[in-house]
Amino acid sequence: MSSLVFFKLLAILVIVAIGWVVGKLRWLSPTDVESGRSADPARVLANAAYYIFVPALLFRTTARIEFETMPWDTLVAVFVPLLLMLVGVYLVVRRMNRDAALPPAAPAVRAITAAFGNTVQIGIPMAAALFGEAGLQIHLAIVSLHALALLTLATALVEIDLARAQRALGAGESHLMKTLLSTARNTLVHPVVLPVLVGLAWNALRLPLPTVADEILRTLGQAVVPLCLVLIGMSLAYYGVRGAAKVAVLLSILKLIVLPAVVLVIAHWGFHLNGLPLAVVVMMAALPIGSNALIFAQRYRTLEAETTAGTVFSTLAFGATAPLWLGLLAWIG
């Protein structure tokens, strides 16, 4: 592993540690005088990210994508296995959820955790250091669609499950159409899906982004990375890892070992991808769990502890698994 990637990993862990210290010392948790209860700043920060900063980032990204220059053969080769992994984990957890008393949003939360990688904080410097400008261009093309594809699909799945659970609690068969309309509305009018759709429409109409608007969106989008990293540390302090470590390790294995293996098999032997594009997509899949998974978990108040632990565990383990994948790719040629 290059020194650039190592120092990036170290910086991420230090920022997470800062968030843990802030959470442990309760610097952002003033006690309410009347109730005597402490506030939950981790959830407030997650809501700020989900409703302000992430939508700005997604809209700006989709509005500026140059679809004509995208390497579509490579993108298809990587997103087919990524989406298959997300849906596969979702279906397995949903089947297990029949016996386990998990919240309705649990299958989608675990699915996005197992599939969503840290493609920006770690992925961009890794691609630049290992593959140069040509590899970085491929990686950035994947990044431009990464959140769009995975978060949109996970949002649709979780909203369907929540509507199903609501209906099971007493909505009744006569309200089926109302439930379907409510699910569609909640999926579309959503802080992740809506800015993506508006951004795509803006892009399709070939409308330029005004300079001031672009600067506002860029500034808001830049806050996503540091905010999410601090949030991971704070969540670790608030929720801990007790009872979540086992599943967190399993999710880390799925993300660091199983997902890149699936991408390698499908991209290389299914789509006949070779050379630099194959190396870039496999290493992208081998990245640790991305912080957007925690924002997703916080949004639905489901499995925050195991998502936080999985993000930290996978980031620590990436230093050991990345050289293994690079060695395998070199052997394949």
Predicted local distance difference test score (pLDDT) of residue 117: 92
Instruction: Decide: helix, strand or coil at residue 289.
Output: strand
pLDDT at 175 over 70: no
Distance separating alpha carbons of residues 4 and 19, to the nearest angstrom: 23
Tell me the pLDDT tens digit for each residue of 206-228: 889 999 999 999 999 888 878 88
- pLDDT higher for 45 or 258? 258
Instruction: Decide: helix, strand or coil at residue 28.
Output: coil
Instruction: Decide: helix, strand or coil at residue 38.
Output: strand
What does the pLDDT average to over 145-149?
A: 85
* Count of alpha carbons within 13 angstroms of residue 245, beta-carbon side: 3
Distance separating alpha carbons of residues 225 and 165, to the nearest angstrom: 33
Q: Provide the residue type at 222 as one letter.
A: Q
Provide the pLDDT confidence category of residue 192 given band limits of 50, 70 and 90: confident
Tell me the pLDDT tens digit for each residue of 270-297: 999 999 999 999 999 999 998 889 888 9
29's CB contacts (< 8 A; 6+ apart) are 23, 38, 39, 40, 41
- pLDDT higher for 327 or 178? 327
Which one, of 324, 319, 333, 307, lies nearest residue 261 by Cα? Answer: 324
- pLDDT higher for 189 or 79? 79
Predicted local distance difference test score (pLDDT) of residue 238: 79
What pTM was estimated for this model as a whole? 0.81
| Mean confidence (pLDDT) of the chain | 84
Decide: 55 and 191 in contact? Cβ < 8 Å: yes
Distance separating alpha carbons of residues 190 and 194, to the nearest angstrom: 5
| % of the chain residues with pLDDT over 90 | 32
Lowest average pLDDT, out of 56-65, 234-243, 318-327, goes to 234-243
pLDDT at 3 over 80: no
Kindly state the helix (H) or strand (E) to which residue 235 belongs, with its residue range. Answer: helix 224-239
User: Residue 31: beta bridge partners?
Assistant: 38
Ordered by where they begin, the domains of the chain are: 3-23+41-332 (1.20.1530)
